[in-house]
Amino acid sequence: MSDSTSLPLRYVGNCGVKVSNICLGAMTFGERPKAGVALPGQCDEELAHSLLDKFVALGGNFVDTADVYSGGVSEKIVGSWLKKQEREKIVLATKVRFPTGTGPNDVGLSRKHIMFAVEESLKRLDTPYIDLYQTHCWDDGTPLEETLSTLTDLVRCGKVRYLGLSNVTGWQLQKIIDLTKTKPYEPFVSLQVQYSLLCRQTEWELQDVCKREGLGILPWSPLKGGWLTGKMTRDGGAPAGSRAAWADEKKMFLQSTPGFSTYGNDDKVWNLLDVLQSVAKETGRSQAQVAIRWLLHQSAVSSVVIGAKTLSQLEDNCAAGFNNWTLNEDQLKRLGEASDVPIPYPWEMTWRCQTGRKRDGVVPV
């Protein structure tokens, strides 16, 4: 395999570990134990292992899961595959925060829950350590100092190598970072956050904080539940078996699974999809590849987290990260303009007032 058709590596934020610029997310691995909740297109163990094998063959080394994906089954599947690999060649990420049981302490970022959850994740993953341990969401119920000291202990005892965050607001992210500077807490190296041509709000605060503080952005839902793949049509609706069709049927409109009804009457979205299709034709690439490649052009992005339920889908999405093609300035401009959203106060005013005041590169603090 030539270098141009193998996934290149990037540093994760300001730390010394390198990961493939495409990360294989394992949310599609395993059926959810609770009947009637399973998303369409979930993978059994055999298919998941085939996807993981192919991902590594394409140059991938970065795998992301979470303790709540498929009720822990995702971690078990990744763990059974990991036993057959050279452990040090894989950068393994998982998460903690959401409910893993019915008890009052089976959720959150308390010392009690984190210490229990990390041991359970290590058992399911069948590994002595986790490379990147991420808080899955902000937790109002736990003082930050309690969470930060607990995570620091996990790094210092060797169960975790690096720390990451996910799903926080701008002020929450900055507060967390500032606290790690005031006491000997382990710093965070990454932020996993929703980011795509249909979710540009990440740029309002989170992107700037990551650039200034040296965190790598790991976008999740880069294709917005299939909306950026080209499978949706204004007249045809959502294809049967798609996540958009499932969302409408179940009336479960999650951030990662918007239904057809979410955007079906939005002319701006259809205009974006027209531009995306046009750029895909110009580049000879799929619309999914163009959408993922657009993210790889954005500042502070270290790796894009993709999901896959077939080998062909995995190969197509991974090809977005190869170095044998790119988007030109005109294509980036058209995609940016078509996907841009109105900027509310105070962001609009503060940005407008920075004319002539922007610095190049990282801004010193």
Average pLDDT across each block of 10 residues of the chain; the chain has 365 residues. List them in order: 82 97 96 59 92 98 97 97 97 97 97 98 98 98 98 98 98 98 96 98 97 97 94 83 77 78 91 98 98 97 96 98 97 98 94 84 46
Q: Report which DSSP code applies to 8.
A: -
Residue at token pair 């690096």: 162
Region for residue 157 given its phi and psi (left: phi exceeds 0; alpha: psi -120 to 50; beta: otherwise): alpha
Q: What pLDDT sits at residue 360? A: 64
CB neighbour class for 38 (10 Å; exposed up to 12, middle 13-18, buried from 19)? middle
**Catalytic residue check, 185:** no
Whole-model pTM: value is: 0.94
Catalytic residue among 69, 185, 195, 263: 69
Q: In this structure, what are the phi and psi dihedrals at residue 130, rounded to the nearest 5 degrees?
A: -115, 130
Give the separation between CA 79 and CA 124, rounded to whole angstroms: 6
Q: Which CATH number fits domain 3-352: 3.20.20.100, 3.40.640.10, 3.30.70.2660, 1.10.3210.10?
A: 3.20.20.100
β-bridge partners, 43: 29
Domain range summary for the chain, segments of one domain joined by +: 3-352
> Distance of alpha carbon 332 from its chain centroid, rounded?
21
